[in-house]
Amino acid sequence: MGQAKETIIVCSAHSDDFVIGAGGAIANYTNEGKKVIAVVFSYGEKSHPWLKEQIVQKMRSEETLEASKLLKCETIFYDLRELHFLEDAKSRGVYEKFTALLRKEKPVKIFTHSNEDPHPDHKGVHEITLTCVTKLQRKKPEVYIYSVWNPVSFKTIYPKLYVDISKTFSLKLAALKTFHSQKIHVAYPFVLLLFRAITEGFRIRKKFGEKFFRIR
């Protein structure tokens, strides 16, 4: 019997956030043999109001699973409605589900959204994550925040974590390309992602990097 695999959990409000914010780091960790679970809190059915919710959910979950396959992580979906995260998390038992997941998996690290993120769903996931982590009695995981499109963070005093993603940046882009249903949403930001990866990589003298802040 070998030692249990180290587990890392990445919280994601919408199906593509974890790829944008931490896709490179996820691929790094799974390449090192660690177990990574992406928790997607909403399918984001609002993006295609002309389609039935179930169709969008199916489309989104298939795309997400395709992306996860590339990054070699597992994926769990919760079904919070966009812009109703905290209300639904309460009524749909998501606090309990997520706390149970933390107790079962005992992650050493958790990556989540920033509370400075202007998107209410991203803020919501931040709050849910911290509420559930705080409830853990025994060894608590390290908690990091990542940014989606806004820079995180302007005023922070939190210690930074830079991850060298030179070897996995192409995988991150490939994973992001699986989100066909969000083409308009992700078309422009490839340039921004490239710029950011180069900027963060420069800080650690690597080709590409991802930056996180440790808040716990």
Report the interface residues with Zn ion, using CB under 5 A. 13-14, 17
Alpha-carbon torsion angle 192, 194, 200, 201, nearest 10:
-170
Kindly state the smallest distance separating residue 157's Cβ from Zn ion, in Å: 25
Comparing CB distances to Zn ion, the nearer of 15 and 168 is 15
Comparing CB distances to Zn ion, the nearer of 13 and 67 is 13
Cα–Cα distances (Å) from 3 to 6, 34, 107, in that order, read 9, 11, 14
Kindly state the smallest distance separating residue 119's Cβ from Zn ion, in Å: 6
DSSP 149: S
Kindly state the smallest distance separating residue 145's Cβ from Zn ion, in Å: 14
The arrangement of strands across the sheet holding 35-40 comes to 74-77, 35-40, 7-12, 109-113, 142-146, 209-214, 160-164
- Angle, in degrees to the nearest 10, between helices 17-31 and 169-177: 140
- Cα 205 from Cα 55, distance rounded (Å): 44
Kindly state the smallest distance separating residue 44's Cβ from Zn ion, in Å: 7
Q: Cβ contacts of residue 212 below 8 Å, gap of 6+?
A: 22, 25, 111, 144, 145, 146, 160, 161, 162, 163
Kindly state the smallest distance separating residue 122's Cβ from Zn ion, in Å: 6
Pairing of strands 142-146, 209-214: antiparallel
Comparing CB distances to Zn ion, the nearer of 7 and 38 is 38
Comparing CB distances to Zn ion, the nearer of 16 and 200 is 16
Comparing CB distances to Zn ion, the nearer of 16 and 164 is 16
Kindly state the smallest distance separating residue 164's Cβ from Zn ion, in Å: 25
Comparing CB distances to Zn ion, the nearer of 19 and 37 is 19
Note whether 22 and 11 are within 8 A (CB): no
Residue nearest to Zn ion (CB): 14
